[in-house]
Amino acid sequence: MRQERTVQASIFDVFSTHEIGRELEAMSRWLDEHRDLLGLVARDLVRVGVKATGRQGLPAEAVLRCALLKQYR
């Protein structure tokens, strides 16, 4: 079963202070405040009728953050 979230150290403790860095930090804070989105993403990632074998894949939070970063940049 895919995890919703994997706790990791924040890259923003040492992240650059240029414009893009500040925008990414603001996006990250917003996502941290809206955890209810993770459940929606996790439900969309479930594949009905597929056996739960093999790799588990990225956690739902990583999928959401990657998708937002892709659209942003």
> Residue 37 corresponds to which amino acid?
L
pLDDT over 70 at 11, yes or no: no
What is the model's pLDDT at position 48?
Answer: 81
Q: Indicate whether this model's pTM tops 0.75.
A: no
pLDDT over 60 at 12, yes or no: no
Strand segments (E) across the chain: none
Other beta carbons less than 10 A from residue 65's beta carbon: 17
Q: Where do the domains of the chain lie?
A: 26-45+59-72
- Cβ-contact 50, 40 below 8 angstroms: no
| Phi-psi sector, 32: left (phi>0), alpha (psi -120 to 50), beta | alpha
What residues contact residue 68 under an 8 Å CB cut-off, 6+ apart? 27, 31
pLDDT tens digits along 14-59: 666 778 888 888 888 999 999 999 999 999 988 887 777 777 788 8
Q: What is the mean pLDDT of residues 8-17?
A: 65
